Amino acid sequence: MRRISLPAAAAALIGLLGASALPSCAPVAVVGAAIVINDEFVDNAQSSVVPHGLDFTWACAKDTMSHMTSDLIEVDEDMRTIQTYVDSALVTVQVETYDANQTRIRVAAKRYLVYSDEIATSVRDSLVRDLN
């Protein structure tokens, strides 16, 4: 099951349609990108449930990830997902409501197109440690 935010999909479509109408040498800016969360991500993610509210956990996750990498961080506020590179692996973090005052954090990491449980577990543990 793939989930993509509607505003991000619309922005990407408008960008593609607009780019096809421009001369080939005209610069094109991409407005936004969607981070796709699918069954493959869920199956390969390391998850943890923390005893904090969604907003607090989301703010802490963004802060922790900003300190874990010097690369750009791609944030999707609607889907509450983060993507960046940590230790040469593409890391995706998803934060979602689990129960009343409980939040689930999922982390998946891909290095050389192969999921890395070691990196995902390390990032997840850092996120949980910073929350406590």
Q: What is the pLDDT along the chain (132 residues), one digit of tens a residue?
A: 444 444 544 444 444 444 444 343 333 333 345 666 777 888 889 999 999 999 999 999 999 999 999 999 999 999 999 999 999 999 999 999 999 899 999 999 999 999 999 999 999 999 999 998
Pair 3, 66 in one domain: no
Pair 17, 45 in one domain: no
Domain holding 87, by residue range, is 38-131
pLDDT attached to residue 124: 97
Tokens of 36: 């796709």
Q: Measured on CA atoms in the order 36, 119, 58, 75, is the torsion positive or negative? A: negative
Q: How far is CA 13 from the centre of its chain?
A: 21
pLDDT attached to residue 39: 79
Pair 75, 96 in one domain: yes
Q: By three-state DSSP, how is residue 76 classified?
A: strand
Pair 16, 50 in one domain: no
Pair 29, 43 in one domain: no
pLDDT attached to residue 41: 83
Residue 103 CA to residue 59 CA, distance in Å, equals: 12
Residue 67 CA to residue 96 CA, distance in Å, equals: 21
Q: Residue 97 belongs to what H/E stretch? A: strand 89-99
Q: Is the CB of residue 6 less than 8 Å from the CB of residue 32?
A: no
Total count of domains within the chain: 2
Pair 2, 55 in one domain: no
